């Protein structure tokens, strides 16, 4: 059953099996508070999911900033992490 067809009443069965080789990935994403800083940007048109916009609007309100600025900082943080490889 795929995640798209699963509903709240569907029980997930977990088993105690070995996972194999596991690699821990460091958390390089900044917290919402770190995304609140101001930086110059270039305007683009981008369609995002409703749940993503709702999340950023909520977090922006908590940190008294603009949600677009937080999204821009998140993307910048991703670029910085990838560029340093």
pLDDT digit of tens for each residue in the chain (85 aa)? Answer: 455 566 667 888 888 888 788 888 888 888 887 777 666 667 899 999 999 999 999 999 999 999 998 998 899 889 988 887 7
pTM to 2 decimal places: 0.52
**What CA–CA distance (Å, rounded) separates 50 from 13?**
30
How many CA atoms does the CB half-sphere of 69 hold within 13 Å? 16
**What CA–CA distance (Å, rounded) separates 6 from 8?**
7
Measured over the CA atoms of residue 27, residue 33, residue 38 and residue 43, the dihedral's sign is: positive
């Amino acid at each position: 059953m795929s995640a798209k067809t699963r509903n709240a009443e569907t029980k997930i069965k977990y088993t105690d099996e070995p996972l194999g080789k596991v690699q821990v990935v460091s958390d390089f994403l900044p917290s919402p508070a770190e995304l609140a800083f101001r930086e110059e940007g270039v305007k683009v048109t981008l369609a995002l999911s409703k749940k993503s916009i709702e999340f950023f609007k909520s977090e922006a309100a908590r940190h008294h900033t603009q949600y677009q600025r937080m999204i821009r900082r998140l993307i910048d943080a991703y670029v910085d992490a990838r560029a340093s490889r």
